[in-house]
């Protein structure tokens, strides 16, 4: 179907698994650390040894509560851990400790902007705690199991099926990730699987009241793929409906290489997880005092920061939105703005020059070769007429390439703006003497020729002349 | 010196008087195990070198004897409790050759109190059974009469103490697995309040019911072992942080004053169907309690008639989950040539588990299945709460509740093994305490005409082991010595 969106409405709900930034695992003292050799970061609890028992990691609970507060959820004073059973080699106990009927958070929402400037608010169903499973690697000689990830604390954030386009899904995820990163809950690294997303996608005719049959999409490990995978799935479902087929309730995996979703399992094969309250763990109690403490200690979150940037730095909505996208970027911008004393100019340099350049070479703000202090210095140099705006771009290029300070580059290359009238006067005289016909033309009333003389002076001075001063001097000599 | 008959208190006094040493005692007991346990089959593993090394290590600390309440006391450990370096098989083929990578909290506490590990004892596979006939290794025999079962599931632990191989042992009790074998072997056995003893290092059967506890030849000995093994250790979220009382401090003449005027609850309707000799013994025991000044009160426990069905839903459900980890992937038995992953699971579990364990896993899996959960597991938990309320109401009227421990004395090996329901009835008096989480103690209350021991059970309020011990202690003194227990027989290993 050429454009399925004309006929069908898309319904998307997202389930996000976010690993919590704790030192140890959810239910044991084993370290929560990525990148170690296989099975080195494990203890008896991780490998499900008989006789081992889970003990709740309070730091994980604190981070979970922080997420609940940041996402405006109702945090329940009592919630219950439950066992979810299935057999798989990377699940050593034969069950995963999760929360089922009584999660610690319900409700809440994520609010974000779309490209057209409108805002959307997506409600959450719940957030619950669970432990991660290990990792299976299927090699030619068999399957290898690494339990380093087994027992890593997770929160699963489940949205209502309220998103209506892949763009909304993408923006929801970006905002959610940004909030979790701001509050130091999760590092948001999608490639390492620290922030994972499953999408429930269905379509229905515009105006229909009933939801269509939903398909669960798994293995989406980048923002780019979220939108691609959803668009592909919407197209696939629309094609199927157009051909008179029924959508089957199934789980599909996104194959990024082929750019298609592939069936993983059908509903008939769905597990009966036999959830029941974990008898090893008493109900989880989260006191109002703890919630109060965590609320008080909450760092500034993206929405609050955006509002502050608009007020404090007189930024446009759009600029404020971009600059608060991540904590690192916002911090970088604030250092440039404060260091230069020119918030507006700082915003332009960061957004138009620096981000554009970083984007072109595929780098993040963390990897910028230009420090905030140096960028602030560059802005100051322009504002104090030490260099012209045009020269500043040349200096920035060099800063981005070498990481040197603007002053060093200006000194090295002799780029300081010439603002000495005596020095410039000689050049102006030289230019006027060399162009008798243009002088005649100017005197005959072609005042537009003023630009010609200024241009020639700038050329003679390799662009270093103070343009305003040159203008004045040329006028003085021609008119005088 | 005949160490087989000595109680913990006797050993401690002997060490104090330097009559003998921990190494001598351990060596002597190891020798009798070697000579005589082939008939009883109470031990699954002994490591004489390790035990003697431990005894010698304790002996070097003889100057600290006063600070070591179990100085040089050899203790046998049920083989579903982990002790570093020792096997922990739960008497199952699926854990054959499994060596414990850490030590259970309760054992760690005993060791730091000076106890010496004597060996690992037999049990019904994964503690599922009431006769130790379900052991994946071999059945254990009752030292009072070797044609009879020792009870179960802690049958190996009970037989080891009754035979004179060990002065004390640890068992686990999920539905009566300490108290029933204690009763059938003429011993004292304690199932502590749920949450009194850490379950860390116990191979879980039913996590909301399991508790470890001691089997000994006297009430004082049981109190001493429990006061050492109980308490919070930071590794089990269900353990109480409340201070563990020094139970033995009150076990002297002062106890008689405390016990006088306490009310003992008896539920007469519960006694129907009990073996007449057991009933007569029980009634005689209640008379003795009256002689101590206690007042019998009739109590109602209207929902205990559902205890058996409730128990077999709760316990099997939890077991089906707890035993999911034995899948042949990470440790334990793995089928030799699996076709694929599914076959690896099915064959490893199919070949590794015995029939009773499979039966219970299937029952529990069914009870937790979508569509059946509410009717079975959910309903069972509602009834469990009613049973808890029955006990709460009863303890408004009385201070302890007395009942027989087991409806019969030790039955013959093979007699009930083919009929699980009859076997399950062995535990009707003990199951309710596990469901309610309250403590229970079994004390010997005489023998039947076949010279088989009979036990009386006393149950108490949550965390009120102190009262149970004091009542049991006074009763034990009033009752007098047992007639011809196997640990006092000349041959040592009993009949």
Q: What is the pLDDT of residue A268?
A: 62
Using a CB–CB cutoff of 8 Å, tell me whether B107 touches chain A: no
Using a CB–CB cutoff of 8 Å, tell me whether A84 touches chain B: no
d(CA A126, CA A434): 79
pLDDT tens figures, B356-387: 999 999 999 999 999 999 999 999 999 999 99
Q: What is the pLDDT of residue B495?
A: 42
Contacts of residue B329 in chain A, CB cutoff 8 Å?
Answer: 89, 92, 145
Q: What is the pLDDT of residue B142?
A: 98
Q: Above 90 in pLDDT, residue A462?
A: no
Q: Which residues of B30-52 are buried (b: 16+ CB within 10 A; e: fewer)?
A: bebbeebbeebbbbbbbbeebbb
Is B87 in contact with B38 (CB distance < 8 Å)?
Answer: no
pLDDT tens figures, B384-400: 999 999 999 999 999 99
Q: What angle do CA B4, B10, B16 make, to 5 degrees?
A: 125
Using a CB–CB cutoff of 8 Å, tell me whether B232 touches chain A: no
- CB neighbours of residue B53 within 10 Å: 14
A144 and A265, same domain (yes or no):
yes
The answer to whether the Cβ–Cβ distance between B201 and A51 falls below 8 Å is yes
pLDDT tens figures, A322-354: 899 888 999 999 999 999 999 999 999 999 999
Using a CB–CB cutoff of 8 Å, tell me whether A274 touches chain B: yes
Closest CA to B472 of B299, B251, B224, B225: B251
- Domain harbouring A471, CATH code: 1.10.10.410
Is B221 in contact with B188 (CB distance < 8 Å)?
Answer: yes
The answer to whether the Cβ–Cβ distance between B345 and A87 falls below 8 Å is yes
Using a CB–CB cutoff of 8 Å, tell me whether A272 touches chain B: yes
A185 and A307, same domain (yes or no):
no
Residue B138 falls inside a structural domain: yes
- Domain harbouring B228, CATH code: 3.90.1300.10
Residue B472 falls inside a structural domain: no
Q: What is the pLDDT of residue B494?
A: 46
Count of domains forming chain B? 1
Q: Percent of chain B, pLDDT > 70?
A: 99
What integer best gives the mean pLDDT of chain B?
96
Residue B276 falls inside a structural domain: no
Q: Above 90 in pLDDT, residue B81?
A: yes
Torsion of the alpha carbons at A251, A257, A258 and A259, rounded to the nearest 10: 70
Closest CA to B168 of B227, B107, B217: B217
- Average pLDDT, integer, range A372-378: 95
**Residue in B325, B348, B364, B367 to test binding to A, most A beta-carbons within 10 Å:** B325
Least confident span in A147-156, A311-320, B157-166, B417-426: B417-426
What is the three-class DSSP state of A157? strand
**Residue in B91, B330, B362 to test binding to A, most A beta-carbons within 10 Å:** B330
pLDDT band at A269 (very low <50, low <70, confident <90, very high): low
- Which residues in chain A (187-246) have CB-CB distances under 8 A to chain B? none
A89 and A202, same domain (yes or no):
yes
**Residue in A26, A60, A279 to test binding to B, most B beta-carbons within 10 Å:** A279
Q: What is the largest CA-CA distance in chain B?
A: 70
Q: What is the pLDDT of residue A38?
A: 95
Contacts of residue A56 in chain B, CB cutoff 8 Å?
Answer: 237
Residue B180 main-chain phi, psi, to 5 deg: -65, -50
The answer to whether the Cβ–Cβ distance between A279 and B236 falls below 8 Å is no
d(CA B459, CA B270): 14
Rg (CA), chain A: 30
Closest CA to A200 of A434, A15, A391: A15
ipTM of the complex in this document:
0.96
The answer to whether the Cβ–Cβ distance between B327 and A94 falls below 8 Å is yes
d(CA B271, CA A476): 124
Q: Above 70 in pLDDT, residue B491?
A: no
| Residue owning tokens 């270093």 | A464
Q: What is the pLDDT of residue B279?
A: 97
A231 and A350, same domain (yes or no):
no
pLDDT tens figures, B58-68: 999 999 999 99
pLDDT tens figures, A53-77: 999 999 999 999 999 999 999 999 9
Residue of A nearest to B377 (CA): A276
Closest CA to A214 of A204, A224, A205: A204
pLDDT tens figures, B302-315: 999 999 999 999 99
Q: What is the pLDDT of residue A270?
A: 67
Contacts of residue A52 in chain B, CB cutoff 8 Å?
Answer: 102, 200
The answer to whether the Cβ–Cβ distance between A279 and B318 falls below 8 Å is yes
d(CA A251, CA A407): 58
Residue of B nearest to A277 (CA): B318
Strands A153-159 and A250-255: unpaired
pLDDT band at A123 (very low <50, low <70, confident <90, very high): very high
Residue of B nearest to A86 (CA): B324
Q: What is the pLDDT of residue A224?
A: 81
Q: Above 90 in pLDDT, residue B325?
A: yes
Is A121 in contact with A110 (CB distance < 8 Å)?
Answer: yes
A119 and A238, same domain (yes or no):
yes
Q: Above 80 in pLDDT, residue A434?
A: yes
pLDDT band at A173 (very low <50, low <70, confident <90, very high): very high
Residue B438 falls inside a structural domain: no
> Which of A227, A261, A293 corresponds to the end of one domain?
A293
pLDDT band at B480 (very low <50, low <70, confident <90, very high): very high
Residues of B with active-site annotation: 78, 153, 177
Least confident span in A301-310, A342-351, A380-389, B182-191: A380-389
- Average pLDDT, integer, range A270-292: 95
d(CA A169, CA A233): 13
- DSSP letters along A359-423, please? HHTT--GGG-SS-HHHHHHHHHHHHTTSS-HHHHHHHHHHHHHH---HHHHHHHHT---B--HHH
> Which of A413, A430, A448 corresponds to the end of one domain?
A413
Residue B22 falls inside a structural domain: yes
A283 and A318, same domain (yes or no):
no
Contacts of residue A269 in chain B, CB cutoff 8 Å?
Answer: none
pLDDT tens figures, B423-440: 888 899 999 999 999 999
Q: What is the token pair recorded at A335?
A: 């250092």
Using a CB–CB cutoff of 8 Å, tell me whether A281 touches chain B: yes
Contacts of residue A55 in chain B, CB cutoff 8 Å?
Answer: 234-237
Q: Above 90 in pLDDT, residue B211?
A: yes
Task: Quote the pTM value.
Answer: 0.90
Structural domain that includes position A474: 421-479
What integer best gives the mean pLDDT of chain A?
92
Count of domains forming chain A? 3
pLDDT tens figures, A176-207: 999 999 999 999 999 899 999 999 999 999 99
A305 and A339, same domain (yes or no):
yes
The answer to whether the Cβ–Cβ distance between A48 and B325 falls below 8 Å is yes
Whole-number Cα distances in Å, B188 to A86, A108, B33, B326: 41, 57, 21, 33
Structural domain that includes position B112: 3-258
What is the three-class DSSP state of A69? helix
> Which of A293, A321, A352 corresponds to the end of one domain?
A293
Q: Above 70 in pLDDT, residue B492?
A: no
A320 and A430, same domain (yes or no):
no
- Which residues in chain B (12-51) have CB-CB distances under 8 A to chain A? none
d(CA B33, CA B4): 10
Q: What angle do CA B77, B78, B84 make, to 5 degrees?
A: 60
Q: Above 50 in pLDDT, residue A447?
A: yes
- Average pLDDT, integer, range A300-310: 94
pLDDT tens figures, B39-54: 999 999 999 999 999 9
Give me the residue from A49, A89, A95 closest to B329, CB to CB.
Answer: A89
A46 and A191, same domain (yes or no):
yes
A355 and A266, same domain (yes or no):
no
The answer to whether the Cβ–Cβ distance between A281 and B237 falls below 8 Å is yes
Higher pLDDT, B91 or B2: B91
A106 and A230, same domain (yes or no):
yes
Name all contacts of A309-313 with Cβ < 8 Å and 24+ positions apart. A309/A333, A312/A343, A313/A337, A313/A343, A313/A344, A313/A346, A313/A347
Contacts of residue A48 in chain B, CB cutoff 8 Å?
Answer: 325, 330
A155 and A285, same domain (yes or no):
yes
Higher pLDDT, A386 or B204: B204
């Amino acid at each position: 179907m050429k454009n399925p969106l004309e006929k069908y409405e898309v319904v998307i709900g997202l389930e996000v698994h976010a690993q919590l930034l704790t030192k140890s695992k959810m239910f044991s003292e084993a370290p929560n650390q990525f990148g170690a050799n296989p099975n080195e970061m494990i203890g008896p609890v991780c490998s499900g040894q008989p006789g081992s028992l889970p003990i709740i990691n309070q730091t994980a609970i604190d981070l979970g509560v922080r997420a609940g507060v940041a996402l405006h959820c109702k945090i329940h004073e009592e919630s219950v851990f439950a066992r979810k059973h299935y057999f798989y080699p990377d699940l050593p106990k034969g069950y995963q400790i999760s929360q089922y009927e009584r999660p610690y958070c319900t409700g809440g929402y994520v609010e974000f902007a779309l490209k057209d400037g409108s805002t959307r608010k997506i409600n959450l169903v719940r957030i619950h705690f669970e432990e991660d499973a290990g990792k299976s690697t299927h090699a030619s000689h068999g399957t290898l199991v690494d339990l380093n990830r087994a027992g890593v604390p997770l929160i699963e954030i489940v949205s209502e099926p309220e998103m209506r386009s892949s763009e909304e899904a993408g923006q929801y995820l970006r905002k959610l990730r940004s909030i979790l990163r701001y509050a130091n809950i999760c590092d948001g690294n999608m490639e390492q699987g620290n922030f994972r997303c499953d999408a429930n996608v269905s379509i229905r005719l515009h105006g229909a009241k009933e939801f269509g049959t939903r398909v669960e999409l798994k293995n989406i490990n980048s923002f780019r793929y979220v939108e691609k995978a959803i668009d592909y799935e919407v197209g696939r479902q629309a094609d199927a409906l157009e051909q008179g087929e029924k959508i089957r309730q199934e789980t599909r995996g996104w194959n990024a290489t082929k750019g298609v979703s592939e069936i993983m399992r059908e509903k008939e094969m769905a597990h009966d997880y036999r959830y029941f309250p974990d008898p090893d763990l008493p109900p989880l109690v989260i006191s109002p005092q703890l919630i109060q403490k965590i609320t008080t200690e909450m760092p500034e979150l993206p929405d609050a920061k955006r509002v502050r940037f608009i007020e404090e730095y007189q930024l446009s909505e759009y600029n404020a939105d971009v600059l608060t996208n991540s904590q690192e970027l916002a911090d970088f911008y604030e250092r440039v703005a404060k260091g230069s004393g020119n918030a507006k100019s700082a915003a332009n340099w960061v957004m138009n020059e620096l981000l554009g350049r970083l984007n072109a070479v595929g780098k993040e703000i963390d990897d910028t070769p230009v420090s905030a202090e140096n960028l602030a210095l560059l802005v100051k140099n322009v504002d104090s007429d030490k260099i012209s705006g045009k020269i500043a771009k040349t200096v920035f290029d060099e800063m981005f390439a070498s990481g040197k300070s603007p002053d060093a580059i200006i000194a090295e290359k002799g780029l300081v703006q010439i603002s000495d009238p005596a020095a410039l006067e000689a050049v102006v005289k030289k230019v006027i003497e060399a162009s008798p016909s243009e002088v005649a033309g100017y005197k005959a009333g072609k005042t537009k020729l003023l630009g010609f003389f200024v241009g020639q002076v700038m050329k003679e001075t390799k662009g270093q002349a103070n343009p305003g001063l040159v203008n004045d001097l040329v006028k003085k000599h021609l008119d005088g | 010196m005949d160490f087989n008959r000595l109680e913990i208190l006797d050993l401690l006094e002997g060490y104090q008087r330097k009559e003998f040493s921990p190494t001598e005692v351990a060596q002597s007991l190891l020798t009798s195990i070697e000579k005589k346990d082939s008939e009883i089959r109470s031990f699954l593993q002994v490591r004489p070198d390790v035990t003697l090394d431990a005894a010698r290590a304790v002996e070097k600390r003889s100057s600290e004897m006063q600070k070591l309440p179990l100085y040089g006391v050899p203790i046998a450990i049920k083989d579903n409790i982990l002790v570093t370096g020792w096997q922990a098989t739960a008497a199952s083929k699926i854990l054959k050759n499994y060596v414990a990578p850490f030590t259970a909290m309760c054992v760690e506490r005993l060791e730091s109190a000076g106890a010496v590990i004597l060996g690992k004892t037999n049990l019904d596979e994964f503690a599922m059974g009431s006769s130790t006939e379900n052991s994946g290794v071999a059945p254990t025999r009752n030292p009072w009469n070797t044609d009879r079962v020792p009870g179960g599931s802690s049958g190996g632990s009970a037989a080891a103490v009754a035979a004179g191989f060990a002065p004390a042992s640890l068992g686990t009790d999920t539905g009566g697995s300490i108290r029933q074998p204690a009763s059938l072997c003429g011993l004292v056995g304690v199932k502590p309040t749920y949450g009194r003893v850490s379950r860390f290092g116990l191979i879980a059967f039913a996590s909301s019911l399991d508790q470890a506890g001691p089997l000994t030849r006297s009430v004082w000995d049981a109190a001493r072992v429990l006061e050492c093994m109980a308490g919070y250790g930071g590794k089990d979220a269900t353990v109480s942080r409340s201070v563990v009382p020094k139970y033995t401090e009150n076990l002297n003449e002062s106890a008689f004053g405390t016990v006088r005027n306490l009310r003992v609850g008896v539920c007469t309707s519960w006694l129907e169907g009990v073996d007449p000799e057991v009933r007569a013994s029980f009634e005689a025991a209640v008379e003795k309690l009256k002689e101590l000044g206690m007042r019998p009160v009739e109590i109602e426990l209207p929902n205990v008639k559902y205890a058996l069905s409730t128990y077999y839903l709760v316990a099997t459900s939890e077991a089906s989950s707890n035993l999911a980890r034995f899948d042949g992937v990470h440790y334990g038995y793995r089928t030799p040539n699996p076709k694929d992953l599914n076959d690896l699971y099915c064959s490893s579990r199919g070949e590794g588990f015995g029939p009773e364990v499979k039966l219970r896993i299937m029952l529990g899996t069914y009870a937790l299945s979508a569509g059946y959960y509410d009717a079975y597991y959910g309903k069972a938990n509602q009834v469990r709460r009613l049973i808890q309320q029955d006990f709460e109401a009863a303890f408004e009227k009385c201070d302890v509740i007395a009942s027989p421990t087991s409806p019969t004395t030790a039955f013959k090996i093979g007699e009930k093994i083919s009929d699980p329901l009859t076997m399950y009835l062995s535990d009707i008096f003990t199951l309710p305490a596990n469901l309610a989480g309250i403590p229970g103690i079994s004390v010997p209350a005489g023998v039947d005409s076949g010279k088989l021991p009979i036990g009386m059970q006393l149950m108490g309020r949550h965390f009120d082991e102190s009262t149970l011990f004091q009542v049991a202690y006074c009763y034990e003194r009033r009752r007098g010595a047992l007639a011809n227990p196997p640990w006092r027989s000349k041959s040592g290993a009993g009949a």
